[in-house]
Every structure is written in C-alpha cells, then in structure tokens.
Amino acid sequence: MSLPPAGDAKVDPAAFVLANTALEYPPLVPEIRLHLASEVVPLWQATEAELTEQGLPPPYWAFAWAGGQALARYLLDHPETVAGKRALDFAAGSGLQGIAAALAGAASVEAAEIDAFAAAAIRLNAALNDVEITVTERDLIGSKDEPWDVVLAGDVCYERPMAEKVWDWLRTLASGGTLVLLGDPGRSYLPKSGLERVIAYAVKTSRELEDSDVRNAVVWRVVQAGDRD
C-alpha cells in the first residue's frame, strides 16, 4: 500500500481508497465493516502538507469519528428512528451513519459528500455491508423541499465557518418538521442552544486523532427555532 506519486493528476478515487485502507470494524459499531486508515497503512501517517503536494484532500473519510459512531450506534439500537423513512447522511465521510440507517430499515438513504474520494469510499463501504445508498457530490447546504424525513450529521462542528453555515441550514430543516440528529464529541463550535440531548456513548478512539483514548460522544436532536433556545 502506498500513496500516489506527487503530481499524479489521474488518481482514481476508488482505487486510491482500496490501496490505502484496511478493513476495520469501528469500536462502537462492530456490526459494520469499513475501509479505513489505520496504523498499518501510509495514509495514517501522511501529513496534510504531503497530501496537498500530491493534490489530495484531507482524508476525513478514512476515519470513523466519534460523533458518527455514536449516531450509528443509536440508529442500530433504535431502528424505529429511521425504519421506513427517507434518510440523508450529510457530510457522510465513510458513510457509517448512512450504512447504519440502511441496516436499521430506512426506506432510502442518500449520502452527501463533496469530496470525490469520500464518495468513492461510501460506495465501497455500502457494497461491503450489502446495503444500497445513493451518493451525491452536490453541496446540499441551503437545500429546501428535499424528500428527507431524517437528516444525520456527524462531527460537523469542528470549524467555525462550517459549523455556522451548517447549523443555520439544519435548524431550518428541523423547523420544517425534519428529524435532524447531530453526533458530536464536544467539538469547539457545537451550538450552545437549539439542541436536545438524546443519548451519550463512550467511544474508544486514537490519541493521534482525538488527543484522548476515549471520547464522550453525544447524539443531539436539533429542535425547532424558538423551542428550548
């Protein structure tokens, strides 16, 4: 397994995912298997500068982040949340939440990722777990009147501009009657209001990723504007 040579403009996303990941089971969701970076593959050690030099985006899709694991665990333990419903896995990363929704009986699952490598990883991971997921690379932030009953968003509050932009949209969706669930392990830009705590999980993680061996990840429900503010 190796990263592509610098300047290679013809990297095939699916081939890259297959060549630079190993099959892993997220600690909190052992029912699901994913193509992930681990200590045994070079992608784990690659720095952002090295990836930029090679024309590659940061591989957020290659890790099962704590917030996403919490959301996936909740869906598998409470399948009635999505059973028979249309679900969106927003900023899906590896597709973990969407896969969990499909396994829990969602009528349909759409996964949104603007990174072509993430989109490829989601397709591969869906096939690996024998579920059907529609992948879109459209930027959905601000979209209205979409046919979703449930929107899942894991670990989206790590940067202020992203968190603020996403939050306004998620709050609008919730106010329109969509069930919006947010998985978060205490990111810096998690909103201070407009959230209702659903459940929390202790998620085993890597100190290289999270500066801790365990993160307390919470599943939040985004409430309608004016409710519990």
Closest CA to 178 of 140, 136, 125: 140
SS3 29: coil
Tens of pLDDT, residues 80-101: 999 999 999 999 999 999 999 9
Q: The tokens of 163 are what? A: 């968190």
Tens of pLDDT, residues 199-223: 999 998 776 666 667 888 999 999 9
Residue 176: predicted pLDDT: 92
CA dist 139 → 43, 114, 135, 148, 210 (Å): 26, 6, 12, 16, 27
**All structural domains of the chain:** 13-61 (no CATH), 65-222 (3.40.50.150)
Residue 5: predicted pLDDT: 47
Separation between Cα atoms, residue 195 and residue 200, nearest integer Å? 14
- pTM equals 0.89
Tens of pLDDT, residues 126-138: 999 999 999 999 9
Question: Which residues, 6 or more positions from 188, have their beta carbon under 8 angstroms from its beta carbon?
Answer: 157, 158, 160
Q: Average pLDDT, stretch 154-162?
A: 82
Residue 209: predicted pLDDT: 62
Q: The tokens of 87 are what? A: 């679900």
Residue 60: predicted pLDDT: 86
Separation between Cα atoms, residue 15 and residue 61, nearest integer Å? 15
132-165 burial: b if 16+ Cβ within 10 Å, else e: ebebeeeebeeeeeeebbbbbbbbbbbeeeebee
Q: The tokens of 161 are what? A: 């501009």
Residue 58: predicted pLDDT: 77
More confident residue, 208 or 188: 188
